[in-house]
Amino acid sequence: MYLPGGLLRPQTEAIVGAPTVTSLQRYNFTKAFMGANGVALDAGFTTPDPEEAAVKAAAVHRAREAWFLVDDAKFSRIYRSHCRPAGRCHSHQPLPQPQIQTIHAGKGDGSMIYTVTFNPAIDYVVRLDAPLEVGEVNRAKGEDCVLGGKGINVSGVLAQLGCESVALGFVAGETGAWLERGLAAQGLKTDFVHLEQGMTRINVKIKAGQETELNGAGPDIPESAMQELEKKLDSLNEDDILILAGSIPASLSQDTYERLLARLQGRGVRAVVDATRDLLVNVLQYHPFLIKPNNHELGEIVGRVLTTDEEIIAAARTLQQKGARNVLVSMAGDGALLVDENGEVHRIGCPKGKVVNSVGAGDSMVAGFVAGWMQTRNYSFALRLGTACGSATAFSLALPPKKKSTN
CATH code, domain carrying 279: 3.40.1190.20
- In whole numbers, what is the pLDDT of the chain averaged over residues? 84
Residue that wins the pLDDT comparison between 105 and 285: 285
110, burial (CB in 10 Å: exposed 0-12, middle 13-18, buried 19+): exposed
- Is 205 inside a domain boundary? no
Considering the domain architecture, whether residues 51 and 182 belong to the same structural domain is answered as: no
92 in a domain, yes or no? yes
What tens digit of pLDDT does each residue of 202-258 get?
999 898 888 888 999 999 999 999 999 999 999 999 999 999 998 899 999 999 999
Domain match, 247 and 380 both: yes
The residue ranking higher by pLDDT, 280 or 43, is 280
DSSP 248: P
Running DSSP on this structure, what letter comes out for residue 327?
A: E
Residue 207 lies in a domain: no
pLDDT grade for 405, boundaries at 50, 70 and 90: very low
pTM greater than 0.85: no
Going along 176-308, which residue ranges are E strands? 189-190, 193-195, 201-208, 210-214, 241-245, 270-274, 290-291
Same domain, 112 and 97: no
| Average pLDDT for 63-83 | 73
393 or 325, which is more confident: 325
For residues 156 and 69, give the distance between their C-alpha atoms in angstroms, rounded to a whole number: 28
Q: Do 175 and 235 fall within a single domain? A: yes
Separation of alpha carbons 243 and 270, rounded Å: 9
Q: Give the contacts of 265 (CB within 8 A, at least 6 positions apart).
A: 286
User: Is residue 225 situated within a structural domain?
Assistant: yes
Sign of CA dihedral 71, 49, 58, 15: negative
Which residues, in sequence order, are CB contacts of 57 under 8 Å at separation 6+?
82, 83, 84, 184, 185, 187, 189
Between the two ends of the chain, the Cα-to-Cα distance in Å is 43
SS3 of the chain: helix, strand, coil, percent, to 5: 35, 25, 40
CA dihedral (151, 142, 173, 83) in degrees, to 10, reads -60
How does DSSP classify residue 294?
A: B
Quote the pLDDT of residue 100. Answer: 28
pLDDT at 101: 30
Asked if pLDDT for residue 73 goes beyond 90, the answer is: no
pLDDT at 338 over 90: yes
Q: Which of 144, 240, 274, 363 is catalytic?
A: 363
Domain boundaries, position 53: 7-101
C-alpha span between 338 and 329 (Å, rounded): 6
Q: Are residues 72 and 189 in the same domain?
A: no
Residue 220 is among the residues annotated as catalytic for this protein:
no
Same-domain check for residues 189 and 96: no
Q: Looking at 67, 101, 135, which one is the last position of a domain?
A: 101
Look at strands 113-117 and 241-245 and give their pairing: parallel
Question: pLDDT grade, residue 406 (50/70/90)?
Answer: very low
Q: 284 and 316: one domain?
A: yes
Residue 172 shares a structural domain with residue 304: yes
Which has the closest alpha carbon to 289: 277, 309, 274? 274
Pair (233, 315) in one structural domain: yes
- Residue 110 and residue 81 share a domain: no
* Contact residues for 73 (Cβ-Cβ < 8 A; gap 6+): none
Q: Residue 145 above 60 pLDDT?
A: yes
Does 184 share its domain with 278? yes
Say if 128 falls within a structural domain: no
Pairing of strands 29-34, 210-214: unpaired
pLDDT at 95 over 70: no
Q: Is residue 297 part of a domain?
A: yes
pLDDT of residue 137: 94
92 shares its domain with 183: no
Q: If you average pLDDT over residues 278-301, what whole number do you get?
A: 94
Cα separation of 193 and 226, whole Å? Answer: 9
Residue 17 lies in a domain: yes
Biggest CA-to-CA distance, the chain: 68
pLDDT band at 102 (very low <50, low <70, confident <90, very high): very low
Counted domains in the chain: 2
Do the domain assignments include residue 129? no
Model confidence at 40, in pLDDT bands (50, 70, 90)?
confident
